[in-house]
């Protein structure tokens, strides 16, 4: 998408005009605003739109009015989705040159940043159809007195979110552990972060037995991907990110039903979050240090598959009873977690994963679920999610839950039972040492069933922008 910034309107065949509620008196065009307000067809309520066509000098112009609601009740989430919805309405009109006029509105800088992020993200659509001719890109001109440099961060964040979406949306026959690692190397070279990829023999030498147990039934070898960004070489403070990287999950011998397998390319949503965040962090040259790791593999079925009833090892030395081979993500994550804690000198760590179906029962698709061992660190994560317009909800950690992950024949079990979202997180927490830690379960938020607001159907890129804001802090 082609976005430019100007302080006055040029040529256009489409215009988006936002209004605050009860402030519909003025406009850049001659529009029946008072009549619309009296008829209650458009009053400026948050997220509402009204589409009409005007004729100026014999030229048709498509107009979308957008409601922003009350100025003192603005939130990032509401405004992003409002701009995204308005852009979608405009895009359906097959326009080529669109202006989005926010000049003179209260909180103009906030709106300029949100509008930039929203239209870029709402413009994204994934498909691999054979196209006879390329669709023309819409040229969008943001009319504002805010300088382009101010909104550059928003553009980078939106593009990084789309990188995350695109990684997940690729079907598993095209995006596997090897091709994922190759893509990360490309991104590192392009954006400016270091990438190291460990192949099978190196992974075996590290005794990542839990990770390898999941990976061994696939014809595609696993890869352990390490991303390092040093924006502040004088500091030894390093933030650690661990992303779940199951490029496909059949469930293993505890096989999923077909309907549940169709979208299992989405099981790498956590890895996409940390990769997209690293792209944004490096692109914006943040003065901070971040290391991200991904244990990338497929969970498949073969004669050498790990089995329910097996007891396996782990890089951290703990033995694990396998109650279900479809509880595989936590096995890959514990070896990744032990590695980053013991080998990369991180001071705080987050893991993010499409981990449990139980998370959907906790918060649905509206919010990601979290647990943490540190209030201060969690509060920073929570603030970062709020700033991005994404939502997160913290669950409790009770002593009774910690007892559930123990097993009479092994140190731990990978199927601790209800509350499944919490016990799955606590299983990973056994390998974080004493570090401040937050676990984020994005099973309900990583994939959207329909387009809405800034989201297109498919991968959402959840976590990319919050993880960037956390690093920026």
Residue 190 placed within a domain: yes
Same domain, 26 and 163: no
Residue 26 has pLDDT above 70, yes or no: no
Q: How far is CA 262 from the centre of its chain?
A: 20
Among 431, 432, 414, CA closest to 423: 414
**Which residues, in sequence order, are CB contacts of 411 under 8 Å at separation 6+?**
318, 319, 320
Question: Predicted confidence band at 1 (pLDDT cuts at 50, 70, 90)?
Answer: confident
Could you tell me if 410 and 321 are in contact, meaning their C-beta atoms sit under 8 angstroms apart?
yes
96-111 per-position pLDDT tens digit = 999 999 998 999 999 9
| Contact indicator for 351, 292 with CB cutoff of 8 Å | no
- Which structure tokens are listed for 124? 């994204």
Average pLDDT over residues 280-293: 98
Tens of pLDDT, residue by residue over 131-159, are 766 667 889 999 999 988 889 999 999 99
Q: Does any domain span residue 318? A: yes
Q: Mean pLDDT over residues 338-360, rounded?
A: 97
- 126 pLDDT tier (thresholds 50, 70, 90): very high
Judge whether residue 56 has pLDDT over 80. Answer: no
334 within a domain of the structure (yes/no): yes
Whether the pLDDT of residue 172 is over 80: the answer is: yes
Q: Is residue 276 scored above 80 in pLDDT?
A: yes
Span 72-87, mean pLDDT?
A: 96
Task: Give the CATH number of the domain where residue 163 resides.
Answer: 3.40.630.10
Catalytic residue among 88, 113, 265, 330: 330
- Residues 8-28 have a mean pLDDT of 81
Could you confirm whether 256 is annotated as catalytic? Answer: yes
Q: What is the mean pLDDT of residues 323-340?
A: 98
Same domain as 296, residue 166: yes
Is 241 contained in some domain? Answer: yes
pLDDT at 42 over 80: yes
Greater model confidence, 444 or 39 = 444
The answer to the question of residue 270 being in a domain is yes
How confident is the model at residue 147, as a pLDDT? 86
* Unique residue bearing structure tokens 């994560």: 381
Calculate what percentage of the chain has a pLDDT beyond 90.
87
**pLDDT higher than threshold 90 for residue 416:** yes
Residue 150 belongs to a domain: no
- The answer to whether residues 180 and 224 belong to one domain is yes
Mean pLDDT calculated for residue range 388-398 = 97
**pLDDT exceeds cutoff 80 at 286:** yes
CA distances to 66, 75, 205, 239, 292 from 164, rounded to whole Å, are 28, 24, 30, 20, 14
Check whether residue 283 and residue 372 sit in a common domain.
yes
In a shared domain, residues 126 and 160: no
Same domain, yes or no: 224 and 358: yes
Q: Which of 123-137, 140-154, 245-259 has the highest mean pLDDT?
A: 245-259
Q: What's the pLDDT score for residue 333?
A: 98
Final residue belonging to a domain, choices 144, 171, 198: 144
Provide the domain count of the chain: 2
Whether 195 and 46 map to the same domain: the answer is: no
* Shared domain check, 162 and 84: no
How many C-beta atoms surround the C-beta of residue 314 within 10 A? 24
180 and 131 within one domain: no
Domain end call among 144, 169, 194:
144
Which of 19 and 9 is assigned the larger pLDDT? 19
Query: Would you state the pLDDT for residue 72?
Result: 92
Q: What is the DSSP letter of 267?
A: G
Q: Is residue 149, in this structure, part of any structural domain at all? A: no
Mean pLDDT of 333-348: 98
Query: Exposure string (b/e) for 360-394, b if CB count within 10 Å is 16 or more?
Result: eebbeeebbbbbbbeeebbebbbebbbbbbbbbee
Catalytic residue, chosen from 183, 256, 402, 457, is: 256
Q: Does the pLDDT at position 348 exceed 70?
A: yes
**pLDDT of the residue at 33:** 79
Instruction: DSSP letter for 396, please.
Output: P
Question: Which of 110, 144, 178 is the endpoint of a domain?
Answer: 144
User: Residues 57, 172: one domain?
Assistant: no
**Same domain, yes or no, for 396 and 300?**
yes
Q: Is residue 151 part of a domain?
A: no
At 275, the pLDDT band (50, 70, 90 cuts) reads very high
Range of the domain at 111: 2-144
Separation CA 337–CA 115 (nearest Å): 37
- What per-residue confidence (pLDDT) applies to 38? 80
- Shared domain for 164 and 42, answered yes or no, is no
Least confident of 57-61, 174-178, 282-286: 57-61
Three-state secondary-structure class, residue 44 = coil
> For 229-244, what is each residue's pLDDT tens digit?
999 999 999 999 999 9
DSSP class of 70: -
Work out the mean pLDDT of the chain and round it to a whole number: 95
């Amino acid at each position: 998408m082609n976005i430019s910034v100007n302080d006055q309107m040029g040529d256009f065949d489409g215009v988006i005009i936002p209004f605050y509620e009860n402030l519909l008196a003025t406009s850049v065009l001659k529009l029946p605003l008072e009549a619309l307000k009296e008829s209650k067809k458009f009053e400026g309520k948050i997220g509402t739109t009204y589409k009409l066509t005007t004729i100026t000098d014999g030229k048709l112009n498509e107009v979308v009015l957008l409601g922003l609601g009350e100025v003192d009740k603005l939130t990032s989430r509401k405004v992003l989705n409002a701009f995204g919805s308005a852009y979608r309405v405009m895009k359906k009109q097959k326009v080529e040159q669109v202006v989005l006029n926010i000049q003179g509105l209260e909180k103009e800088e906030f709106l300029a940043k949100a509008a930039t992020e929203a239209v870029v993200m709402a413009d994204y659509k994934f498909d691999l159809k054979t196209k006879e001719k390329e669709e023309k890109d819409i040229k969008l001109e943001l009319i504002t007195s805010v300088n382009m440099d101010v909104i550059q961060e928003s553009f980078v964040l939106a593009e990084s979110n789309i990188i995350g979406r695109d990684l997940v949306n690729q079907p598993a026959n095209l995006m596997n552990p090897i091709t994922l690692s190759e893509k990360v190397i490309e991104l590192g070279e392009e954006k400016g972060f270091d990438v190291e990829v460990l192949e099978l023999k190196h992974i075996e030498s590290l005794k990542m037995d839990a990770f390898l147990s999941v990976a061994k039934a696939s014809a595609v070898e696993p890869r352990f991907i390490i991303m390092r960004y040093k924006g502040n070489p004088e500091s030894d403070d390093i933030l650690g990110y661990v992303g779940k990287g199951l490029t496909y999950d059949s469930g293993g011998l505890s096989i999923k039903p077909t309907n549940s397998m169709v979208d299992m390319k989405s099981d790498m949503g956590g890895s996409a979050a940390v990769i997209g965040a690293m792209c944004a962090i490096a692109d914006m040259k943040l003065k901070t240090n971040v290391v991200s790791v991904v244990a990338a593999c497929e969970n498949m079925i073969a004669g050498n598959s790990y089995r329910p009833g097996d007891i396996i090892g782990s890089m951290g030395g703990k033995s694990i009873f396998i109650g279900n081979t479809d509880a595989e993500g936590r096995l890959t994550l514990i070896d990744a977690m032990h590695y980053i804690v013991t080998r990369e000198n991180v001071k705080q760590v987050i893991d993010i994963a499409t981990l449990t179906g139980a998370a959907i029962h906790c918060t649905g698709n509206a919010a990601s679920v979290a647990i943490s061992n540190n209030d201060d660190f969690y509060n920073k994560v929570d603030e970062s999610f709020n700033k991005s317009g994404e939502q997160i909800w913290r669950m409790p950690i009770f002593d009774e839950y910690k007892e559930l992950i123990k097993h009479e024949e092994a140190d731990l079990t990978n199927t601790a039972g209800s509350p499944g979202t919490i016990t799955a997180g606590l299983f990973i927490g056994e390998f974080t040492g004493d570090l401040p830690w937050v676990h984020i379960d994005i099973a309900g938020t990583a994939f959207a069933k329909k387009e809405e607001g800034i989201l297109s159907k498919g991968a959402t890129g959840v976590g990319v922008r919050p993880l960037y804001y956390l690093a920026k802090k």
